[in-house]
Chain A
Amino acid sequence: MRRGNDGATPSSWMPPNYTKARTGTVDYERLDGRVVVDVKLGAQGIRDLHGGLMQLALLLHEKPNVERACLVIRFPRMTLDSARDAWKRATELLRPDIANRLAVVLVMPDEKELWLDPKSDPIVEEIAHAVSNALRDSSTAERTSFEISRKFFEIWKVLLEAWLSRGDALRVKDLVAMVGCSIPTVMHGIDLLARRGELSGERERGKFALRSFPRQTFEQGAGLADTFRRTLWFADTSGRPEPVALMRRIQRAKPVGIALGGVVGARHLDPHFDLHGTPRIDITLWVPDGSMPNLQFIKNIDPALQQTDSKDTAVLAVHQLSRAVTLFHENPDGSVPFADPVEILLDLYELGFREQFADLIRTLRQEKPV
């Protein structure tokens, strides 16, 4: 279920005659509106199955023109027999004119096996085929060495941003949209965080949030951050390195797709941020398709900047962000936006400002109303 680089919606893994649903109650619908599909790959138990089924049943009741409503559901911790029995018992309770229009595609934890009901319906087979293809694609490309992969890193950063800002727990589809990856990829990430005990109890309701600051993953992620963020370092060749002047040059040039992070970003988040001076400017560069960025804008900021392998001599660090949604904090005055707090924390950590890093986490968590 890879998401296209062209910014296509997740419906791109569905057959071409499907699109994102116009109503919020289901995920996808056939272009003629006669088939709807709801996807719940983050289901935890029978309750999720019942909830999904009832939602589709109500829709079928209200929309007699819909001839098929299909639930695609994945249970990471249920056997096929249990899931199949639960589905059958539930549908037996429904009126025949509703139950006969319902369908299910059960995705089992190993994702090798799908169970369909009804089995011989071409519509359901088409949907199951799309699900199967998407799972196979993602399994080869994304599941290999998934632990602390770049995609996982992005999923985790989005969850951490929500935790720092005391935002709502996130649904799988939220994470899919924000990170720009497939549903299975998100589920793998969720599973990994769950195994590490870093998720809160929100998980039971199909929403995911971090339990607390995920120290274990953070330290692993921070250690690999230069690689995952594909950080580029730039030195000042003028003979007079002045990060503050560089900051002003960035504000003047206002390159598209960048945000300020590092110490400058930390001061934005916390006006009492405890550090004298600005040793380096950190910016986050949005490269949503993950391609090699065009770095011409660097010379446009300051012709004195030259790429270097030595981070110790760098006055500018450019960290690349490849997820679908930037989470940049735009400034009303039109000046260069700020990166989200997680990028800023990673910058501080990389700079070695551990005390300030810890203080900023406390500040971010305390200043927001619970």
Chain B
Amino acid sequence: MNENVDPQLVLQLVANHVPPELHQNILLVGSLAAAYHYRAERANQPVRTKDADVIVQPAGAFHECIQIAQRLLDLDWRPTEKRRCRPFPFDNPMSELDVIRLHPPQTDLYFIELLGLPLPEQREPKLEVAVQLRDGYYMIPCFKFMAVLQSNQQTSSVGLQYASPALMALANLLHHPTLGTAFIADTAVLRSSKDLGRVLALAFLTPSDKLFQWHEMWWSALQHHFLNEAKDLAAQVGYGVVALLNDAAALRDAYDNATSGLLSGKNVTQDQFRVAGARLLTDVVRELHDLAGVSSR
């Protein structure tokens, strides 16, 4: 079970625990990064996660992933137990390889999970790359649409880089043009429901003047990272949210996840949550479609 943690404290700890020479390769993403970014809007509320998702930069830097993981293990970082992280003697089958999740030496308050940054030529939405540490093989997941997180990176007060919430939202929207059928392990909750709920939570927390700038950031990132696909990808953005808003059960799951995570303590009603989604479509998605010259269906 995840515990509530202070995102600012966790960032401070990550900065202290990870050797400074590795900081330049680290980009924090996910709910911790978002909770840190919106600490004022969230009135410094803690966030229910122990998972500090870390993308290793630059794109395709699997050698650096290995170096960072090995270095942390050498510094007495420990593989997580509750979330399985064990070495496997072979580099296949991939389904047997675990993601690298490591606790810092003296605390279980958080763990980092290593993700790769995709190369431009990656076609698969999710590519799993086997990497060999001294004790065996692990897996580094690379999500194609996380490429956009290279743009507009933010710098925290402790010097660590974290992803722009606007682009984290875009990455999730690109990854889920529909609700799909993938469930979160051991639950009946659609993965898309959780991820798209996160998008709605980000939109809810974003002040309007900033939200009105998202479409420009999105279009710029799409053009930069997916030059030839940019227009087609822009055309797909938002339909996952449309599907979510039209699926009462999925919306309920999304709401439950969001209100126990980023929106905890905000007393957001389900109607307000739904309105945040509808507003995202009119305030941002419609503008993106206009900018990209594609029609909103």
Q: Which chain A residues have a beta carbon within 8 Å of chain B's beta carbons?
A: 237-240, 242, 244-245, 248-249, 252-253, 300-304
Partner of B275, one of A252, A253, A304: A304
The answer on a CB contact under 8 Å between A249 and B283 is yes
The answer on a CB contact under 8 Å between B278 and A304 is yes
On whether A239 and B269 interact (CB within 8 A), knowing A252-B287, A303-B278, the answer reads: yes
How far apart sit A300 and B281, CA to CA, in the bound complex (Å)?
A: 10
On whether A300 and B282 interact (CB within 8 A), knowing A237-B275, A239-B269, A239-B272, the answer reads: yes
Report the minimum CB–CB distance from A252 to chain B (whole Å): 7
The answer on a CB contact under 8 Å between A237 and B272 is yes
How far apart sit A240 and B275, CA to CA, in the bound complex (Å)?
A: 11
The answer on a CB contact under 8 Å between A238 and B212 is no
CB-defined contacts of A239 to chain B, threshold 8 Å = 268-269, 272, 275
CB-defined contacts of B287 to chain A, threshold 8 Å = 252
Q: Does B276 contact A (CB under 8 A)?
A: yes
CB-defined contacts of B39 to chain A, threshold 8 Å = none
Report the minimum CB–CB distance from A352 to chain B (whole Å): 26
Beyond the given A245-B209, A303-B282, please list 9 additional residue pairs across the A-B interface where CB-CB is below 8 A: A237-B272, A238-B276, A238-B279, A239-B269, A245-B208, A249-B282, A253-B282, A300-B282, A303-B278
Digit string of B205-220 for contact with A (CB within 8 Å is 1, else 0)? 0001100100000000
How far apart sit A105 and B86, CA to CA, in the bound complex (Å)?
A: 105
CB-defined contacts of A304 to chain B, threshold 8 Å = 275, 278-279
CB-defined contacts of A237 to chain B, threshold 8 Å = 271-272, 275
CB-defined contacts of B269 to chain A, threshold 8 Å = 239
How far apart sit A238 and B209, CA to CA, in the bound complex (Å)?
A: 15
Residue contacts A-B, CB under 8 angstroms, 26 given: A237-B271, A237-B272, A238-B272, A238-B279, A239-B268, A239-B269, A239-B275, A240-B208, A242-B208, A244-B208, A245-B208, A248-B212, A249-B282, A252-B283, A252-B287, A253-B282, A300-B282, A301-B282, A302-B279, A302-B282, A303-B278, A303-B279, A303-B282, A304-B275, A304-B278, A304-B279
Report the minimum CB–CB distance from B81 to chain A (whole Å): 40
Report the minimum CB–CB distance from A224 to chain B (whole Å): 34
How far apart sit A238 and B282, CA to CA, in the bound complex (Å)?
A: 14
How far apart sit A238 and B271, CA to CA, in the bound complex (Å)?
A: 8
CB-defined contacts of A253 to chain B, threshold 8 Å = 282
Which 4 residue pairs are nearest across A and B when measured between Cβ atoms? A245-B208, A303-B278, A239-B272, A304-B275
Digit string of B97-120 for contact with A (CB within 8 Å is 1, else 0)? 000000000000000000000000
The answer on a CB contact under 8 Å between B275 and A238 is yes
CB-defined contacts of A249 to chain B, threshold 8 Å = 282-283
How far apart sit A139 and B278, CA to CA, in the bound complex (Å)?
A: 50
How far apart sit A300 and B283, CA to CA, in the bound complex (Å)?
A: 10
Interface range for B: 10 to 19
The answer on a CB contact under 8 Å between A303 and B208 is no
How far apart sit A252 and B268, CA to CA, in the bound complex (Å)?
A: 27
Interface of chain B residues 268 through 297 with chain A (CB within 8 A): 268-269, 271-272, 275-276, 278-279, 281-283, 287
How far apart sit A244 and B211, CA to CA, in the bound complex (Å)?
A: 13
Chain A residue at minimal CB-CB distance from B280: A303
Chain B residue at minimal CB-CB distance from A236: B275
How far apart sit A271 and B278, CA to CA, in the bound complex (Å)?
A: 35
CB-defined contacts of A244 to chain B, threshold 8 Å = 208
CB-defined contacts of A300 to chain B, threshold 8 Å = 282
How far apart sit A242 and B209, CA to CA, in the bound complex (Å)?
A: 10
How far apart sit A301 and B271, CA to CA, in the bound complex (Å)?
A: 18
Report the minimum CB–CB distance from A234 to chain B (whole Å): 13
Of A240, A300, A302, A303, the most chain B CB neighbours within 10 A belong to: A303
How far apart sit A237 and B268, CA to CA, in the bound complex (Å)?
A: 11
CB-defined contacts of B281 to chain A, threshold 8 Å = 303
How far apart sit A237 and B209, CA to CA, in the bound complex (Å)?
A: 18
Chain A residue at minimal CB-CB distance from B267: A239
Report the minimum CB–CB distance from A19 to chain B (whole Å): 44
CB-defined contacts of B276 to chain A, threshold 8 Å = 238
CB-defined contacts of A242 to chain B, threshold 8 Å = 208
The answer on a CB contact under 8 Å between B282 and A248 is no
Report the minimum CB–CB distance from A225 to chain B (whole Å): 30
Interface of chain B residues 229 through 262 with chain A (CB within 8 A): none
How far apart sit A240 and B283, CA to CA, in the bound complex (Å)?
A: 15
Report the minimum CB–CB distance from B197 to chain A (whole Å): 16
How far apart sit A248 and B209, CA to CA, in the bound complex (Å)?
A: 9
On whether A248 and B275 interact (CB within 8 A), knowing A239-B268, A239-B269, A303-B282, the answer reads: no
Chain A residue at minimal CB-CB distance from B266: A239
How far apart sit A240 and B269, CA to CA, in the bound complex (Å)?
A: 12
CB-defined contacts of A303 to chain B, threshold 8 Å = 275, 278-279, 281-282
Report the minimum CB–CB distance from A268 to chain B (whole Å): 21
How far apart sit A215 and B287, CA to CA, in the bound complex (Å)?
A: 46
How far apart sit A263 and B271, CA to CA, in the bound complex (Å)?
A: 29
Report the minimum CB–CB distance from B159 to chain A (whole Å): 32
Digit string of B49-84 for contact with A (CB within 8 Å is 1, else 0)? 000000000000000000000000000000000000
How far apart sit A303 and B283, CA to CA, in the bound complex (Å)?
A: 10
Report the minimum CB–CB distance from A154 to chain B (whole Å): 34
How far apart sit A304 and B209, CA to CA, in the bound complex (Å)?
A: 16
Chain A residue at minimal CB-CB distance from B211: A245
Report the minimum CB–CB distance from A247 to chain B (whole Å): 10
How far apart sit A237 and B275, CA to CA, in the bound complex (Å)?
A: 7
The answer on a CB contact under 8 Å between A248 and B278 is no
How far apart sit A249 and B283, CA to CA, in the bound complex (Å)?
A: 7
How far apart sit A239 and B282, CA to CA, in the bound complex (Å)?
A: 17
Chain B residue at minimal CB-CB distance from A244: B208
Report the minimum CB–CB distance from A364 to chain B (whole Å): 31
Chain B residue at minimal CB-CB distance from A253: B282
Report the minimum CB–CB distance from B189 to chain A (whole Å): 24
How far apart sit A237 and B273, CA to CA, in the bound complex (Å)?
A: 10
How far apart sit A245 and B209, CA to CA, in the bound complex (Å)?
A: 7
How far apart sit A303 and B285, CA to CA, in the bound complex (Å)?
A: 13
CB-defined contacts of A302 to chain B, threshold 8 Å = 279, 282
